[in-house]
Amino acid sequence: MKEKVTIANVLETWACQYPKVTTWLSKIQRKNHAAYHLCLYCGAVNKTPDELLALKENPASKEAERLLDQFVESSQFTNSVTYNVVTSVKSFYKHNYMDLAKASGTGVAIIKQKPYRKHLKEELLKIYRAAQNPRDRALITFTWSTSIAKESLIKGQWKHLDSDWEKQELPHISLPDVLIKGHGIGKYKGVEQHTFLTPEAKRDLIDYKDWLERVKGIKLGTNDPIFIDTRYGNKVKPLGYNALGQIALLLSKRSGVPFSWHDARRYVETALEEIRIHPNWARKIRGRKVKGEEAPYSRPAIEQLRNAYKEAVPLLQFTVETELTELKKRQEAIEQIVQGMTPEQREKMQRFGIRIGKKRETQLNGGQACENGEHCEAFEQINERALLGYLREGWSIIHRLTNGEVIVKR
C-alpha cells in the first residue's frame, strides 16, 4: 500500500524523487510546508514537477499561468491552503528561473478572520508556568524579549551572543543577514538583527545552559545551536521548525492560552512603540531593513540601541513583576482574613495548629526550619554582581530595586 503523503513525510516520500524540487527546497526555509503544497498542486492538475517546468520551456508561453488560474477558480481546498499552494508553485518556478507572470493565481487572498492576539502579562506567565523543562521556559522568555522570528530561532548559535553575555545586564544578540528575512540576497545583503535579552530571559538562558551541561551531559560549543532537540540524548541537534510548532501547541493546551511564536514579535514591537523608540532602531531590533544604514553595526551604535531597549524592559518582562504582584495580593488577602477574625477564631486556629500561608522572611534563612519546624521560603537582598552565582544555585529574581540591588527567592 502506497504511503500517504503528509507534511511530516513529504520530503522522504515525494520530494526526493525530483531533483528540481530538491534544488528548489535547498534555497528556502519552510521545506516541508512548501513541498507539501507543491505536491497538492501536482495532484490537483495531474502533472509532475518536471511537467510543470516543461510548460515554461518557451518563455512566451502562458500555459503555466493559465493552469494556475484554472486551479484557483476550481480549487477544492480552503482559502488559506489554496493561497499557500499558489505561493509554493510560484516559488518553485522562480527558483528554477522560469518566473510566472505576477498576475497569475491572484484570484485568492488570505482574509484575516480574527484580530491579532495581544497577550497580557498574566497570560504569558500561564504559558511560562506550563513549560515543564528549562529549555521551554527559556524559549518563552527568549522569544518574548528578542523578537527573533521562528525561522531564525532554530538557526541561532551561541556565538551570536556576546562572549561575556552572562555578565551583561542586557545581553546583546547579533544575527547575520543569512539567518533572517531575505537571507542576505539582493536588497537584504548586509541586513543584520541586533537585539537583546531582558534580565529574566538571561536568567532562564543561564538555567537552560546549566541544565544541558549538568543534567543532560551536553557540553556546548560556540557553533552549537542555542535551542536543541533533547530527544537525542547527549547528541546536539537543532530544534526543528515543526518541533518548535509542536511545543507551542502543547504549551497552549496546557496553559489554556493560545499563542504562536510570531505573537512575540508583535509583543516586542508594541513595547517599543510605547516607549516611542526611533522607528529605525525598532526595525533593527526586529531584524528588518533600514534604509541608508551602515553595515555591520558599530559597537557604539549597539550601545545606543541597548540604552534605548532598556526603557522597554519593564514592559517586556512578565515573570518578575507578575510574581511580585501575586505575592502582594496573597499577603493582603491573608491580612484581611486575619483582621476579620474574632478572638475566639484566632484562639481555635492557634490551638489546632492551623496556619494561613507560609511564614516569609526577608533575610536568608539557608533553608533551615522555622520556629514551628516547617521550612520557610528563603529571600535575600543581594548586589547585582552576586546574582549569577545565586541563579546557578536555583534562586530566582523577585524584584529589582532602584539602588541596583536585587531581591531573590529560593
Q: Which of 77, 95, 113 is the last residue of a domain?
A: 95
State whether 181 and 165 are in the same domain.
yes
Q: Give domain status of residue 103, yes or no.
A: no
State whether 172 and 297 are in the same domain.
yes
Q: Give domain status of residue 266, yes or no.
A: yes
Q: Give domain status of residue 383, yes or no.
A: yes
Per-residue confidence (pLDDT) for residue 306, from 0 to 100: 92
State whether 148 and 291 are in the same domain.
yes
Per-residue confidence (pLDDT) for residue 407, from 0 to 100: 78
∠ at Cα 305 (265, 309), nearest 5°? 50
- Nine-digit cell at 247? 511545543
State whether 77 and 192 are in the same domain.
no
Q: Give domain status of residue 4, yes or no.
A: no
Q: Give domain status of residue 109, yes or no.
A: no
Beta carbons of 266 and 126 less than 8 angstroms apart? no
State whether 204 and 222 are in the same domain.
yes
The rounded Cα 143 to chain-centroid distance in angstroms is: 3
State whether 332 and 237 are in the same domain.
no
Per-residue confidence (pLDDT) for residue 327, from 0 to 100: 58
State whether 199 and 177 are in the same domain.
yes
Q: CA 354, CA 341: separation in Å to the nearest integer?
A: 13
Q: Give domain status of residue 16, yes or no.
A: yes
State whether 370 and 344 are in the same domain.
no
State whether 65 and 125 are in the same domain.
no
* pTM of full prediction above 0.85: no
Q: CA 148, CA 60: separation in Å to the nearest integer?
A: 42
Q: Which residues contact 65 (CB under 8 A, 6 or more apart)?
A: 100, 101, 103, 104, 105
Beta carbons of 312 and 140 less than 8 angstroms apart? no
Q: What is the number of structural domains in the chain?
A: 4
In terms of residue numbers, what domain contains 349?
A: 319-354
Find the CATH number of the domain harbouring 163.
1.10.443.10
Per-residue confidence (pLDDT) for residue 258, from 0 to 100: 93
Q: Give domain status of residue 114, yes or no.
A: no
Tens of each residue's pLDDT in the chain, 410 residues: 467 889 889 999 999 999 999 999 988 878 999 999 999 999 999 999 999 999 999 989 999 999 999 999 998 888 889 999 999 999 999 999 999 998 898 877 655 545 567 889 999 999 999 999 999 999 999 999 999 998 889 999 999 999 899 999 999 999 988 888 777 777 778 788 999 999 999 999 999 999 999 889 998 899 999 999 988 888 899 998 888 989 999 999 999 999 999 999 999 999 999 999 888 888 888 888 776 665 556 777 888 899 999 999 999 999 876 555 555 566 666 666 666 667 777 676 666 655 554 433 333 333 444 444 444 456 777 877 787 778 877 777 776 766 667 777 77
